[in-house]
């Protein structure tokens, strides 16, 4: 015998409302079905077939089965869900292979909006010591960029990026991660212990020749993965007022700004962010 999943049936109190929500989100047409029911998609047709079955009970508890909706722009997709009447759960997961945001439809059924990163052939992550020669391009280019954006760095923490004791970025409390493509460093970053439950991201960098390819987000996700393994429950970081690309990166990776975004960047000064791994 052969068996395939031909569709999924959702119990709901208002099949018309849910069919309208999911039809608009997935661009699926309605099809004829039983009286009182609604159906999206057709048997044997392209895409998933979803049936909406009327029941008198309201949803209670967490779904045991949920849908994954794959998109190519996680932020626009979340905005689309909200505009159609869905709502956020506050749960987001950033992995090296992609981003997952958990949402609810109008009857509070949970589902995941997923953006997968494009595979990068030859990409691998390595943990190194601050004094490893592989880390030199990261620290040297960071220093040059800070100087170009902020002027003389005398007396600041950026004057000598090797001044931090290497142990701060070494296990178990810290890490310095490089993204290598065919053995060449293209991006990197680090974290150190901020407090007992919090890691502080530092030294985020993407080589100028490799920007705009998503490596920064991959490094953030890898640092978060390692931080979770080390027992951290939160990440804290700061970036400067003349680094809008960094601000955009952290916002897109689900970080919460700890400053008034309505103020001019120079008035804000140092831009702090945080992110909790438990969604809280």
| pLDDT tens sequence across 233-270 | 999 999 989 989 899 889 888 899 999 999 999 999 99
pLDDT of residue 9: 92
| pLDDT tens sequence across 3-49 | 677 789 999 999 999 999 999 999 989 999 989 999 998 777 767 79
Decide if pLDDT at 202 tops 50. Answer: yes
Contacts of 61 (CB under 8 A, 6+ apart): none
Domain borders along the chain are: 8-116, 123-276
pLDDT of residue 17: 95
Decide if pLDDT at 75 tops 90. Answer: no
pLDDT of residue 280: 43
**Phi-psi label, residue 232: left if phi above 0, alpha if psi -120 to 50, beta otherwise:** beta
Mean pLDDT of 141-152: 83
Decide if pLDDT at 57 tops 50. Answer: yes
User: Taking all residues of the chain, what is their mean pLDDT, rounded to a whole number?
Assistant: 88
Q: Are 270 and 243 in contact (CB under 8 A)?
A: no
Q: Which CATH architecture has domain 123-276?
A: 3-Layer(aba) Sandwich (3.40)
Q: Are 219 and 187 in contact (CB under 8 A)?
A: yes
pLDDT of residue 235: 97
| pLDDT tens sequence across 87-142 | 999 888 877 678 889 999 999 999 999 988 776 778 899 999 998 999 898 888 88
CATH assignment, 8-116: 3.10.180.10
Decide if pLDDT at 279 tops 70. Answer: no
Higher-confidence residue of 188 and 156: namely 188
3-state secondary structure labels for all residues of 207-238:
CHHHCCCCHHHHHHHHHHHHHHHCCCCEEEEE
Distance between CA atoms of residues 165 and 142, nearest Å: 18
Decide if pLDDT at 232 tops 80. Answer: yes
Q: Which two tokens stand for residue 37?
A: 């029911």
Q: Is-same-fold flag (8-116; 123-276)? A: no
């Amino acid at each position: 015998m052969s068996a395939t999943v031909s569709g999924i049936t959702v119990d709901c109190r208002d099949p018309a409302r849910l069919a309208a929500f999911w039809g608009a989100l997935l661009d699926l047409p309605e099809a004829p079905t039983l009286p009182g029911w609604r159906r999206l998609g057709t048997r044997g047709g392209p895409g998933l077939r979803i049936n909406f079955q009327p029941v008198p009970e309201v949803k209670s508890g967490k779904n045991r089965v949920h849908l994954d909706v794959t998109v190519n722009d996680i932020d626009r997709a979340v905005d689309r869900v909200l505009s159609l009447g869905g709502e956020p759960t506050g749960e987001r997961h950033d992995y090296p292979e992609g981003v997952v945001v958990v949402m609810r439809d109008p009857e509070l059924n949970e589902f995941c909006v997923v953006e997968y990163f494009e595979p990068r052939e030859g990409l691998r992550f390595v943990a190194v010591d601050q004094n490893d020669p592989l880390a030199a391009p990261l620290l040297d280019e960071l220093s040059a960029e800070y100087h170009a954006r902020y002027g003389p760095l005398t007396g600041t923490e950026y004057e000598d990026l090797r001044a931090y004791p290497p142990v701060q970025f070494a296990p178990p409390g810290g890490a310095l991660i490089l993204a290598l493509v065919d053995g060449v460093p293209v991006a990197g970053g680090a974290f150190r212990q901020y407090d007992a439950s919090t890691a502080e991201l530092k030294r985020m960098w993407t080589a100028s020749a490799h920007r705009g390819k998503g490596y920064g987000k991959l490094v953030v996700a890898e640092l978060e993965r390692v931080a979770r393994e080390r027992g951290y429950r939160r990440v804290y970081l700061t970036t400067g007022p003349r680094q809008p690309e960094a601000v955009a990166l952290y916002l897109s990776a689900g970080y919460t700004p700890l400053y008034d975004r309505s103020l001019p960047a120079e008035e804000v000064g140092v831009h702090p962010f945080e992110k909790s791994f438990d969604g809280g």
